Amino acid sequence: MLDTPHRRYNALTGEWVLVSPHRAKRPWLGQVEKLSPETLPAYDPTCYLCPRNERAGGIFNPDYVNTFAFENDFAALLPDSVDEVPASSHPLFVSVPETGHCLVVCFSPRHDLTLPELDLPAIENVLSTWAQNSADMGNEDYIHYVQVFENKGAMMGCSNPHPHSQLWAQSQLPNEIIKELATQTEYFKINNRPLLVDYVKEEHKRKERILFSNDHFTALVPYWAVWPFEVLVTAHRPSASLKELSASETSALAEVFKQVTTRYDNLFEISFPYSMGFHQAPADGQPHPEWVLHAHFYPPLLRSATVRKFMVGYEMLAMPQRDITPEVAVERLRSLSDVHYKHREK
Q: How far is CA 345 from the centre of its chain?
A: 30
Q: By rule CB under 6 A, what string of x and - marks binding of each residue 160-199 to ligand H2U?
A: x-----x---------------------------------
Residue type for position 114: T
To which H or E segment does residue 18 belong? Answer: strand 15-19
Stretch that binds ligand H2U, among 69-77, 198-206, 245-253, 274-282 (CB under 6 A): 69-77
Q: What's the min distance (Å) between Cβ of 335 and ligand H2U?
A: 31
110 binds, among ligand H2U, Zn ion, none (CB under 5 to 8 A by kind): none
For the bound state, the minimum distance from the C-beta of residue 44 to Zn ion, rounded and expressed in Å, comes to 5
Write out the DSSP string of 230-254.
-EEEEESS-BS-GGG--HHHHHHHH
The amino acid present at 93, given as its one-letter code, is F
Helices (H), 82-162: 120-138
Asked whether position 106 contacts Zn ion by CB under 5 A, the answer is no
How far apart are CB 164 and ligand H2U at their closest, in Å? 6
3-state secondary structure of 307: strand
Least spacing, CB of residue 57 vs ligand H2U, in Å: 7
Cα–Cα distances in angstroms (integers) from residue 286 to residues 138, 140, 297, in the given order: 12, 14, 27
Strands 164-170, 145-152: pairing kind: antiparallel
DSSP state of 150: E
Interface residues for ligand H2U in 92-151 (CB under 6 A)? 104, 151
Looking at 17, 50, 137, 225, which residue binds Zn ion (CB under 5 A)?
A: 50
The residue (of 50 and 137) whose beta carbon lies closer to Zn ion is: 50
Q: How far apart are CA 233 and CA 264, in angstroms?
A: 14
Q: Which of 162, 164, 288, 294 is catalytic?
A: 164
Alpha carbon distance 339, 6 (integer Å): 36
Round to whole Å and give the CA distance between 35 and 168. Answer: 29
Give me the least distance between CB of 61 and ligand H2U, in Å please.
Answer: 9
Pairing of β 15-19 and β 321-322: parallel
What is the residue type of 24?
Answer: A
Site membership for ligand H2U, residue 56 (CB under 6 A): yes
Which of ligand H2U, Zn ion, none interacts with 47 (beta carbon under 5 to 8 A by kind)?
A: Zn ion
**164: annotated active-site residue:** yes
Whether the Cβ atoms of residue 77 and residue 170 lie closer than 8 Å to each other = yes
Min. distance of Cβ 194 from ligand H2U in angstroms?
Answer: 31
Is 111 a binding residue for Zn ion by CB under 5 A? The answer is yes
Q: Which of 17, 19, 40, 49 binds Zn ion (CB under 5 A)?
A: 49
164 binds Zn ion, rule: CB under 5 A: no
- Cα of first residue to Cα of last residue in the chain, in angstroms, is 42
Question: Among 74, 192, 313, 346, which residue sits at the site for ligand H2U (rule: CB under 6 A)?
Answer: 74
Site residues, Zn ion (CB under 5 A): 44, 47, 49-50, 111, 162
Active site residues: 164
Site residues, ligand H2U (CB under 6 A): 48, 55-56, 72-74, 104, 151, 158-160, 166
